[in-house]
Amino acid sequence: MSFLVYRRATSPCTLQPYYIHVYYLPMSPVSTMSMLLKRSGNEAIELNPNSGTNIHLVVNGSDWYWTVFCILSVTALAYVVAAFFVPRKERFFHYTSIAAAMFSALAYFSMASDLGWTGVQTEFSHYQGGGIRQVFYARYIGWFLASPLLIINMAFLAGLSWPTVLFVAAMQEVFVVARLIGALIPSEYKWGYFTFGVAAFILVFYNLAYVAAQSIRTLQSATTYDKLSTYFTAVVGFLGLVYVLSQIAWGLSEGGNVISPTSEGVFYGILDIMALPLVNSVVLFLTRQVDFAELGVTIAEPVTK
């Protein structure tokens, strides 16, 4: 593209023309979007550098963590709004769900900000020849605080007794702690902790898939709402799939160093979305089909004078 421009010549009374050539280089939509993101963009990794590691999160991974953070934050807000539509004495499941969503959102805020991590020497050299891998302990803190609440919701929905509920929640904590310690160990001993986690997972899943499934069929509510036990069994099966996939994700990331930390974040993020916004929301729906007095989780109303 050329423009004809006149400039004053040596004589003050004459104008001399000359051309300015402007070259336009078309940009693809992807390039344009990348430029816009860079200008507006996510500066978390620049402000909180992951120095000391050669296998670490990149900007795209941080962007994904921000996406999951937003999803979990909206989920927590939705649970808060939903709680106002049920009687105060029947908000037990909403309170635990709100807490779980907020714990998870807090963990993803930390990871999106490239915080809450430490460097661990990899045992294997599958990805980038090995080295110091960035491991987010913030993820495990979020799981430690949030995942037992999801298990408690499912256990109480099935009408399990307090001792059984506490046992299942404790086994869930063992599952998370074992994976955290294993992720922080550079040697082959990490797989011993992985085995502890698998054993805890088996106990959790057994109590949900068999003990809880048997218990929910004995509820009076199950005779009123005949699909209650069917839906509960489907939810337990879906959660079991999430558990199995999470073992694979750990083996490919912190355990075996096969995939990048960004791919690890995508894998775990999808599983967390499957577990909390999806599974827990279905559990909340099912709680509206049961008698809270039968479950023993009715919250006493405050006495006012």
Most confident of 3-12, 133-142, 212-221: 133-142
pLDDT level of residue 302 (50, 70, 90 thresholds): low
Taking only Cα atoms into account, the Rg of the chain, rounded to an integer number of angstroms, comes to: 27
Cα–Cα dist 274/242, whole Å: 7
Superfamily of segment(s) 44-295: Rhodopsin 7-helix transmembrane proteins (1.20.1070.10)
Spell out the alpha helix ranges (H) of the chain.
Answer: 29-40, 44-47, 59-83, 92-112, 137-157, 162-184, 190-206, 213-217, 220-224, 228-250, 261-273, 281-287, 292-295
Q: Which of 171, 140, 167, 165 is nearest to 152 (CA)?
A: 165
For 90-113, the pLDDT digits (tens) are: 899 999 999 999 999 999 999 999
Instruction: State the first-to-last Cα distance of the chain, in angstroms, to the nearest integer.
Output: 83
- Amino acid type, 166: L
Contact by Cβ (8 Å): 200, 178:
yes
| Residue 143: exposure state from Cβ atoms within 10 A (0-12, 13-18, ≥19) | buried
Q: In the predicted model, what is the mean pLDDT of the chain? A: 87
Q: Confirm if 129 and 111 have CB atoms less than 8 A apart.
A: no
Q: Which residues of 184-205 are buried (b: 16+ CB within 10 A; e: fewer)?
A: ebeeeebeebbebbeebbebbb
pLDDT (tens digit per residue) in 188-240: 999 999 999 999 999 999 999 999 999 988 887 766 667 888 899 999 999 99
The model's pTM is 0.83
